[in-house]
Structure 1
């Protein structure tokens, strides 16, 4: 989009909206103002904020919001209603983000010498556009709320939320209070994506799915085979509906650890045990990194390469060839990097014959993960 000649406010908005730091600050403002918006995945808020900013830009250029911009506002209102975010909390977040963006534009405009008349005119145009968008969002939110409230599904989903939060409640059909179900958690908040995953999760047996705390969660009798690809899902061992609340909380913790490790697809909760525990104790990870990796410099790309190689070496059971294949390097390269890291840190890798080899290996693995995360 090219601004009209002399429209310095529009040019400024285009430049600032393209700055990731400005978008980040706008998202933080929205999440800080509304606890319920903050409970949603940050990427969900970022996606909608970016779409609305782009819509405002298009509306400024075209003299008003067009059909696509208004449709995007309606989708946002509908999504928030289906995610259980009340309209007041949703508008608090929206207005906080808008106010932050306007303050940023005015401050930058004055610093760059944009005339006050242009700034005032620009803010006025933004207010006209955002007012139209708010009307569409509120209308769509109320329509979605009414549609949801009229369905039996909402009552069932409310029961699912109560079960996962440990509240005493009668177990609804199709669940059986005496049967055992896998508790599956995810970070999926987009209703369309959630609907596709729900169909996959319930395709092999009875189950109950829905957006709980803004994210797709489920209780299913069986897990699909093959497991669904795509977003990370964490599945707990089977438990009766009245006993799933602790597993739901633990699954949410494991989900954060798995996401930090870049995992995708369906994963067993037990397989994420070590990652979950270590992710919950970052201070201990820092102490281990300081003690075991003292010779490494986070600012040195070669040192980061050494750490990544040794971490992969540990993940592959201390075997050279599988590590080399995973990293797409020669086996001798793996051997050299492992030896070089030992030289730099002054610490040998745990030996299989060492009586404390398991603990020492876990400590080194934890230290390397923490060090690499901090070095990025």
Structure 2
């Protein structure tokens, strides 16, 4: 057994590396969070439609496929559990409305990343050229088998969906929100809400669709549940964030859909949220570099690694969120009103800024504090 750079290698008598050594390289890649994130970023960058999916959804399947490849390398080939991971990927992407070509773009980008990672780590561990070639060949054989199952599952699911009224509705919704021609357009004199959500799991989406469907068109668009509704029904509690636009004429829906998607990334609470209530955080999130510059200029004395400083910042944000009122702020952060007053004084002493004054001054401080709180500790 050789040990280099934290990678355990099983060295054969001829100086090569056995399948256990190759599998250990893959396992390490799967366990290394930064490498997993790199694989996710690679797949999302290669395929715009995969990139439009929620990042956690791409991460979930990327990790499952990496684990399937790792397990298959130990056994010498994929078993039904490994192939089932590919089935789930193909089925979910079909249900989410991602075309097979876009799915393949993302999958092949991930495969290229995997091969590159194994070669780089193998060289660092002084694997022989023959051992590296063996590793790449095995990975190619396994990922090809997974790809075939993934594509087959996607096509079977597409064929099954094509026979359902549900998929017909989803296709009509996708065309409406992308500004494409629609066979049965919406009524031009009527106003409609645009709704987007973080719901990417097809099973969860079906339950919410059952509620929304009575009020208009629902379906998976760009990987998450979306809808165009003539009125908002009562929704069950415990849902992830849903952004709801004001009612607008049909011609404005495509542009509003993109705004709602950006607002969804700014939503921090679950359940339905009005698009207009997210207007400021959505606009500010579009200028991250400007927010970082503002935080650096206004809050240089605060240390992100200091828990007390973070308490001060959270209290200040709550204070501004609650109209500069001590009582509601104390309730929001679960402390005594005197504690709120003390924290605000300490923040003023550290930064030299009062949380009072002009609207622009308070807005700049609010933005700077939110950006600062999101910085790494």
* Same topology, TM > 0.5: yes
Give yes or no for the alignment of 1:330 onto 2:336: yes
Partner of 2:49: 36
For residues 208-247 of structure 1, the aligned pairs below 5 Å read 208-247=217-256
User: How far has the Cα of 1:47 moved from its partner?
Assistant: 0.9
For residues 1-376 of structure 1, the aligned pairs below 5 Å read 7-171=20-184, 176-202=187-213, 205-258=214-267, 262-350=268-356, 356=358, 358-376=359-377
SS of structure 2 residue aligned to 1:333: helix
User: How far has the Cα of 1:142 moved from its partner?
Assistant: 1.6
Partner Cα separation in structure 1 for residue 173 and residue 27 of structure 2: 44
Q: 1:137 to 1:79 in 2, by over 3 A?
A: same
SS of structure 2 residue aligned to 1:239: coil
Is the Cα–Cα contact under 8 Å of residues 178 and 240 in structure 1 kept in the other structure?
yes
Partner Cα separation in structure 2 for residue 21 and residue 122 of structure 1: 22
Partner Cα separation in structure 2 for residue 293 and residue 334 of structure 1: 19
User: How far has the Cα of 1:73 moved from its partner?
Assistant: 0.7
Deviation string for 1:291-328 (max 9, x for gaps)?
43343334444323221121122222323343333323
Deviation larger for 306-315 or 45-54: 306-315
User: How far has the Cα of 1:234 moved from its partner?
Assistant: 0.3
Is the Cα–Cα contact under 8 Å of residues 209 and 217 in structure 1 kept in the other structure?
yes
SS of structure 2 residue aligned to 1:52: helix
SS of structure 1 residue aligned to 2:265: helix
**TM-score normalised by the chain length of structure 2:** 0.86
Please list every run of 5 or more consecutive structure 1 residues that lacks an aligned counterpart in the other structure: none
Deviation string for 1:78-137 (max 9, x for gaps)?
222333333233222212211211221222122123344443333332222212111111
Partner Cα separation in structure 2 for residue 20 and residue 55 of structure 1: 17
User: How far has the Cα of 1:274 moved from its partner?
Assistant: 1.7
Q: 1:35 to 1:243 in 2, by over 3 A?
A: closer
SS of structure 2 residue aligned to 1:189: coil
Matched length: 362
User: How far has the Cα of 1:177 moved from its partner?
Assistant: 4.5
Is the Cα–Cα contact under 8 Å of residues 240 and 270 in structure 2 kept in the other structure?
yes
Partner Cα separation in structure 1 for residue 298 and residue 196 of structure 2: 35
Is the Cα–Cα contact under 8 Å of residues 211 and 233 in structure 2 kept in the other structure?
yes
Deviation larger for 293-302 or 214-223: 293-302
Partner Cα separation in structure 2 for residue 121 and residue 214 of structure 1: 37
Deviation larger for 177-186 or 228-237: 177-186
Is the Cα–Cα contact under 8 Å of residues 180 and 238 in structure 1 kept in the other structure?
yes
User: How far has the Cα of 1:267 moved from its partner?
Assistant: 0.8
User: How far has the Cα of 1:5 moved from its partner?
Assistant: 6.2
User: How far has the Cα of 1:21 moved from its partner?
Assistant: 1.0
Partner Cα separation in structure 1 for residue 141 and residue 178 of structure 2: 42
SS of structure 2 residue aligned to 1:263: coil
Partner Cα separation in structure 2 for residue 62 and residue 74 of structure 1: 20
**TM-score normalised by the chain length of structure 1:** 0.86
Is the Cα–Cα contact under 8 Å of residues 169 and 219 in structure 2 kept in the other structure?
no
Is the Cα–Cα contact under 8 Å of residues 22 and 73 in structure 2 kept in the other structure?
no
SS of structure 1 residue aligned to 2:374: helix
